[in-house]
Chain A
Amino acid sequence: MLTIAGTSFRSRLFLGTGKFPSAGIMKKAIEASGTQMVTVALRRVDLGNPEDDIMRVLDRKQYTFLPNTSGARNAEEAIRLARLARAASGSCWLKLEVTPDPRTLLPDPIETLAATEVLVKEGFIVLPYMNADPILALRLQDAGAAAVMPLGSPIGTNQGILTRFQIEIIIEQACVPVVVDAGIGAPSHAALAMEMGADAVLVNTAISIAGDPVAMAGAFAKAVEAGRTAYRAGMGRVSATAKASSPESGRLSDDLGFLA
């Protein structure tokens, strides 16, 4: 079982709640995924449509809510959003996200580290979204991050795990759970992350924009489980040369020279 900051999770699939075609489909997809952790964002209330409230369809007792600081461009904005999130949720869980460039939405490592240091001191359970930088992962861990969340590829791109070798180093070195976040576009990408030894994956776009988000959520659940089981079973070594699967001795060619 996965444990982050003293809370245990049976499911290693975390779900984002953005961009679903409706609140009803989102609820069903969350159920189909088996997830126990969902991310949410904070935005201004639409004064013209004040009843639009995502939380009414989600059972807050059933899931750990992980509010994000999306939209923050620097540490100061992220800290302000974090405090609002805590006031709104009554919980200290936080996905720290600092993305100054709207074109790439890549995380700012310096501002992310600075915000982590402040928020950990304020008692937040900080899960920082980060580029797949093994040194930064150690720095965030030292600053008190409860987990690290390196990206597979930029947010919402569905490009999969383009940072494989860096994530492998992060997994090898980290003392805190590693959650691969962003860019996971297909169940096979999630399976790969889990086979590599990631502790969990966070998926949003690949499920929410699928033709059938509920079915896709189920597919991701299976992939994450398969990848985790494979990791625990011990993956075979990769080799540059062929290794026969069938026995080398007792071949017909040993007796029947013409087959040699």
Chain B
Amino acid sequence: MNIEINGEQKTASVGITIALLLETYKIVPATIVVELNNVIVKPDTYTSSCLSEGDKLEFIRFVGGG
């Protein structure tokens, strides 16, 4: 299925969880915050949140800034 991560079109297996997706991209969950279709996802639901076709994800983290 097609999903969007950080504005980029990606393909993923149907029903993949956020936890698995983070693992695929080698992202440490504790270092980021996830937004799914403009709603912040609680970290304790990463393993149970299954994604659907057309979902829009944002993986956000702190960077240096003033």
A and B: bona fide binding partners: yes
Complex: A17 Cα to B66 Cα, angstroms = 6
**A86 CB, min distance to chain B CBs, angstroms:** 9
Q: Which of B6, B28, B63 contacts A47 (CB 8 A)?
A: B6
For the A-B complex, the count of residue pairs with Cβ-Cβ distances under 8 Å equals 94
- Total residues of chain B contacting the partner, CB 8 A: 23
Complex: A205 Cα to B58 Cα, angstroms = 28
State which of B11-19, B30-38, B44-52 sits at the interface with chain A: B30-38
**Are the C-beta atoms of A42 and B63 separated by less than 8 Å?**
yes
A19 within 8 A of partner (CB): yes
Q: A47-B25, A50-B26 are in contact. Are A41 and B62 (CB under 8 A)?
A: yes
Q: Using Cβ atoms and an 8 Å threshold, which residues of chain B touch A55?
A: 31, 61-62
Q: Using Cβ atoms and an 8 Å threshold, which residues of chain B touch A87?
A: 33, 40
Complex: A42 Cα to B35 Cα, angstroms = 13
B3 within 8 A of partner (CB): no
**Are the C-beta atoms of B40 and A50 separated by less than 8 Å?**
no
Q: Which of B38, B59, B60, B65 contacts A16 (CB 8 A)?
A: B65
Q: Using Cβ atoms and an 8 Å threshold, which residues of chain B touch A39?
A: 65-66
Q: Which of B8, B62, B66 contacts A89 (CB 8 A)?
A: B62
Q: A50-B25, A53-B28, A83-B40 are in contact. Are A205 and B66 (CB under 8 A)?
A: yes
A residues with a Cβ closer than 8 A to B are 16-20, 26, 39-45, 47, 50-51, 53-56, 65, 67-68, 70, 80, 83-84, 87-89, 155-156, 182, 202, 204-205, 208
What are 28 residue pairs bridging A and B, where the CB atoms are less than 8 Å apart in the complex?
Answer: A16-B64, A17-B64, A17-B65, A17-B66, A19-B66, A40-B64, A40-B65, A41-B62, A42-B60, A42-B61, A43-B61, A47-B5, A50-B25, A50-B27, A54-B62, A54-B64, A55-B61, A55-B62, A56-B31, A65-B62, A68-B66, A70-B65, A70-B66, A87-B40, A88-B32, A88-B62, A204-B65, A208-B64
Given A41-B63, A55-B61: 19 more A-B contacts, CB < 8 Å: A19-B64, A20-B64, A42-B60, A43-B60, A43-B63, A44-B6, A44-B58, A44-B59, A47-B5, A47-B25, A47-B59, A51-B26, A54-B64, A56-B31, A65-B62, A68-B65, A83-B40, A84-B35, A88-B62
